[in-house]
Structure formats: structure tokens, C-alpha cells
Amino acid sequence: MEYLGYFLSVIIGISLGLIGGGGSILAVPILVYLFKIHPEQATSYSLFIVGITAMFGSYSQYRLGNLKIKAALVFAVPSVLSLLFVRDVILPKIPAIILTINSFEISKNLVIMTVFAFLMIAASLSMIRTSTPEKTEKRDDHIRIAIIGLFVGFITGFLGAGGGFLIIPALLFFANLPIKQAIGTSLLIIFINSLIGFGGDVLNGIDINYKLLFTITSIALVGMFIGTYLSKKIDGAKLKPAFGWFVLVMGVYIIIREFFLK
């Protein structure tokens, strides 16, 4: 199963390089089901893998002229604050067993994976939709960008997900960026969120298998460079629906596995 995990790690990077999101949606299930990593611990691994991959991707997008620093910072600052609050204050206080109904236990791990599955399904539906919103001549709405940043930070903190599928529409609608610049800018935001979140976990003493972590990250980086190259040749919007169906299947699989195959 590990070999399949390594293969799918390439797709984490391809997704980030090509459509600016989706990497962490794949990373957590891969880590949990193929590498047998504890779900809460997998969110930390995901933050590092996606963060490092997004860092290189954002630099590549900067060279292509697709990075808007101001919009990224307006989004990232409140996002980081909510992320750190969730991982340092809320997540550690959630008990391992939240509730027991007869013989069925609702555990912290079950909640993490279930919420993640529904997040995947929601993300997949947004990717399957092929319609593109019409551009308007409105000015940047920094307040709404910051509010969505807070929300994405909460998701990133709880699930280890970068939130690219939320970041890109926010940049399209409220920062008024073209799709290419929204993708490039989202990578910088994901990088900032993910690496700061991972750094907080390390300071809190989380146990990390760095050999495995660096191996998966290296493979994802290969995928990132492939995705960035393909983004110059292929319209990422055309591949989004296909990737969305793949994510939808994985989300449904997680729900079935967590509730019916244990």
C-alpha cells in the first residue's frame, strides 16, 4: 500500500501546480489509509507536505507574474491567527472519545475523517461545476477577503487542509483577480498557513517520522513541477471537473470506510 501512497503523492503536487488547490484534500486520506498514520497526526504531516510544495509552486508562479502579494497578505494574516488558535487551543481540548451511543463510539479521529470527507465532497462539487463567474469592475473587498481568511484558517487548523478550493473563489470574487493570478496567489497563502501551522505543531511536541515526511514531500514536489509545467500548456479549468470527480469518489469512500467497514 505504501507504493500506491508514493504514487498518489505525485498527484498532490500536480494538483497544486495545475489548479492551485486540492493537494491537502488528497494528502490526509493518503497518509491515513495508505501510510497508516494517526488522523490527527496526519493533519500535521499534510501541513508540511502541502506547505513546502506550495512554497516552490508560489515561487514558480511569481516568476510567471501570477503572484499578488497584497491580496495574499490580507487573506493570510487573519487565516494564520485562526489556524493557530484552532491547533493550539481547540484541537488539544477535544477528547479522544467524544460520545458513546450504545456500543458505537464517536471518536475524535472519526470526527476529523468525517468532516474531511464532507469537505472533499463539497470541494469536488465546486470543481465539477465548469461555469466561470463573470468578472465585474468592483474594487477589492479586503474585509470579505479577511473574513474568508479566518474561515479558511479554521479549516486548515482542524483538518490540515490548505483550503485552496475556498481561497481561489475568494480571490476571484473579492480581490478581482484573473484565474491564473488567483491560482498563483492561493499557493502563497497555502504556504504561509501550512508552514506556520506545522511549526506550531512541532513546538507542541508532536511526534514526526521525518524520513517518511521528507520522502513524501520530495515526491509531491516532483508533481508540483509537473503541474506547473502543464499549467503553461493546459487550461487548468478543463481538468478541474475530472479531478473533482476523483475527489468526490474519495470522499464517499472515506464515509463508507469510517462508518461501514470498521
Is residue 183's pLDDT more than 60? yes
Q: Are 158 and 115 in contact (CB under 8 A)?
A: yes
pLDDT tens digits, residue range 90-110?
A: 888 888 898 888 878 888 888
Residue 45: its pLDDT value, please? Answer: 92
Q: Give the structural domain span for 38.
A: 2-260
Question: What are the grid coordinates assigned to 186, written together?
Answer: 492561493
- Give the pLDDT confidence score for residue 21 in this predicted structure: 65
Number of independent structural domains in the chain:
1
- pTM as predicted: 0.77
How high is the pLDDT of residue 22? 64
Rounded-to-integer distance, Cα 142 and Cα 251, Å = 32
pLDDT, tens digit, 9 for 90 and up, residues 113-149 = 888 788 878 878 877 775 555 444 555 678 888 888 8
225 band by pLDDT with thresholds 50, 70 and 90? confident
Residue 166 near residue 22 (C-beta atoms within 8 A): no
pLDDT at 17: 77
Distances (CA, A) of 104 to 77, 98, 101: 40, 11, 5
Arithmetic mean of pLDDT over the chain: 82
How far is residue 254's CA from residue 124's CA, in Å, rounded to a whole number? 14
